[in-house]
Amino acid sequence: MNERIFDLEAYACFSDEKAAVTEVVITQNSSIAVWAVRPGQEVEAHCHPDGQDTWFMLRGTLTYYLGNSQRQTLSVGQFAIADQGQVHGAINEGTEDAVFISIYSAPKIGYAKASA
C-alpha cells in the first residue's frame, strides 16, 4: 500500500436511493470504508461473524442500532464499536446528511443480516 494518508470526506458519495458505501482501503487486516447517509436512509441491521466493526462519525447524526430493539444517537466526534457477532446498523432520522467511517477488522471479511 503506497498511500497512507486519506481525505475521508472526499470519499463520501451520496445516492438519492440508499445509503452509499465507498471502500477506501482493504488490507489483510482490515477494511476501511466511508458511508454517506441521507435523511431517511438506513444502513440495515447486520452483524459480522468474524470481526469487529468500528464506526466514527464525521458529519451529521444517526440513530444507531444496538440489537434487541435498542437504539442510541451517534453524533459527530463519537464512535461505536460492534464486536464480533454484535448487531449494528443505523438510520438517519435527522434533516442533515450523515457521514461515517467504518473500520472493520478481522482475519476475513464476513457479513450476515440481522434484525434491528
Express each pLDDT in 14-42 by its tens digit. 999 999 999 999 988 889 999 999 999 99
Identify whether the C-beta of residue 75 lies closer than 8 Å to the C-beta of residue 58.
Answer: no
pTM: 0.89
Q: How confident is the model at residue 2 (pLDDT cuts 50, 70, 90)?
A: confident
CA-CA-CA-CA dihedral for 25, 57, 16, 45, to nearest 10: 90
What pLDDT does 109 receive? 62
The CA distance from 14 to 62, in Å, is 15
Cell 458529519 found at? 59
* Buried-state track 17-45, b at ≥16 Cβ within 10 A, e below 16: eebbbeebeeeeebbbbbbbbbeebbbeb
Cell numbers found for residue 54: 468500528
pLDDT in tens, 43-83: 999 999 888 999 999 999 999 999 999 999 999 999 999 99
Contacts 24+ apart (CB under 8 A), 7-11: 8/34, 8/58, 8/99, 8/101, 9/34, 9/58, 9/59, 9/99
